[in-house]
Structure 1
């Protein structure tokens, strides 16, 4: 279940499309529950050192858009202002950093397997036994305000602020994105680029290795706030009223300072999914 939850949260688009009379199966009619399931292949690279990547052959989705409120998988929103070219929403969603520690059971591992010490093999002290605290990081749910404006020919610029309302780390995120969708070979293609600012409290909670979690003395490394960048491409090709071909691929570049932390082994990661979608 956590694998599917993580895939949904990491692959959902920034902009949701709710249109009243659209017949394409990939778009959502207002006041109608839209459920679908995609069979194919996809997953998330895990940038945490020693953690496994996550893959899945199935990706379900459920969404509902009413006149004011909506849910889209695990995002919940309420529309404050909505026009064809501008909106302001109250919005809640999961923070994606927590999934890196939940998706493959990393809470069962000890820091000797997931920290980087600067050598090929960590030096273990000879004393035994060693009592360590497992690396455990909780998921947090973020809530805030999101807004977007159509600046030119279906080019949308959006901004959002999310704060931890579950008091896991009491941190916040700021998001800026630009996106555009256009018709291509009888389907709909999309491209999105953006930046996400994560404050120091959020970064420190997820990516600091505590002394009780490590059998080696780590060099002091103070984490700071981080700005991650991403680029996403997607394509939907309708086959019928019930079936479509779906493809989405996203690459996230981690902040250079964050990528040098003890827990991270990559400066970026991919997430994506491709397959045949059945729309109920």
Structure 2
């Protein structure tokens, strides 16, 4: 009970702070100069202020699903949709506000669809949109005793899996209870130089689905090689016990006769992502993407998980309208 109240308090405070900062950010920008460059840039190029970015990637690819009996996800047609105003933006499954978009550093407040649900259903922005398919990538394992709560309060000791790697019992994802969609709200801090970018993202569940938080740090660098623009990204992400346990834990709601229950812990996890682009003409671009995400211990030891990582790959072309 104390843990539940504590996390609800954290989420309430986080949401209040998000609303407050967005409000005062908007007031400050009303008297500020327009964006100096007149553009917002992302992995697929720059977008003029007050304009739409519409593109679609066509090719062959897949995301390997780590869940027991989970279907691997085909990547064939991936839309990329965005709109950037001077401050407000909509980028695929995320809506946000940029406080000082003309500077080398920037702070965003945002609301986005949480990506964990993407492993449980095909019809999710994380599987259907170009950015979603390659954005939830993360970085550094710290062993089987990753930092975080042991979570002894939710399940009685006699019915709980011990969180040890020796547990071999596996459960099909088709046999567990439905996992709901969730909305996250948070802040993202950017610092960019000519060819590199650092980003720190902090987010919490604002939909009261899993009542937890996550934190992510990204570093990316881009360079040219034989006409290709190459951009590797290294990431590290922390997922709270509440987030991990909601999606990968097992409790009485899963109604599994004879199966041990499992309470997942928090943890850090690593990832690497690589994107390569080569223009064909003004609208067509060769596009190759690959990602490797190592699952943290609380996820790997879950009875509904039978792989240690998520591998994603895609090769094709992108057309920009």
The alignment's TM-score, normalised by the length of structure 2, stands at: 0.68
Unaligned 5+ segments in structure 1 are 1-17, 106-115, 123-131
Given that residues 46 and 52 in structure 1 are in contact (C-alpha distance below 8 angstroms), is that contact kept between their aligned partners in structure 2?
A: yes
TM-superposed deviation, 1:154:
2.2
Q: Which residue in the other structure is 1:139 paired with?
A: 181
Q: Which residue in the other structure is 1:184 paired with?
A: 225
Distance 1:25 1:260, change over 3 A: closer
Q: Which residue in the other structure is 1:261 paired with?
A: 302
Distance 1:21 1:71, change over 3 A: closer
Q: Aligned ranges for residues 1-280 of structure 1 at < 5 Å?
A: 20=38, 26-103=45-122, 118=168, 134-150=176-192, 153-219=194-260, 221-280=262-321
Given that residues 203 and 223 in structure 1 are in contact (C-alpha distance below 8 angstroms), is that contact kept between their aligned partners in structure 2?
A: yes
Given that residues 175 and 195 in structure 1 are in contact (C-alpha distance below 8 angstroms), is that contact kept between their aligned partners in structure 2?
A: yes
Distance 1:253 1:188, change over 3 A: same
TM-superposed deviation, 1:58:
0.7
TM-superposed deviation, 1:87:
0.5
Unaligned 5+ segments in structure 2 are 1-35, 125-165
Regions of 4+ moved over 6 Å: 21-25
How many residue pairs end up in the alignment?
Answer: 243
RMSD, matched Cα:
2.9
SS in 1 for 2:222: strand
Bigger proportion of residues as strand: 1
Given that residues 182 and 190 in structure 1 are in contact (C-alpha distance below 8 angstroms), is that contact kept between their aligned partners in structure 2?
A: yes
Alignment partners' CA distance in 2, 1:192 and 1:156: 9
Given that residues 54 and 320 in structure 2 are in contact (C-alpha distance below 8 angstroms), is that contact kept between their aligned partners in structure 1?
A: yes
Alignment partners' CA distance in 1, 2:199 and 2:37: 19
Q: Which residue in the other structure is 2:144 paired with?
A: none
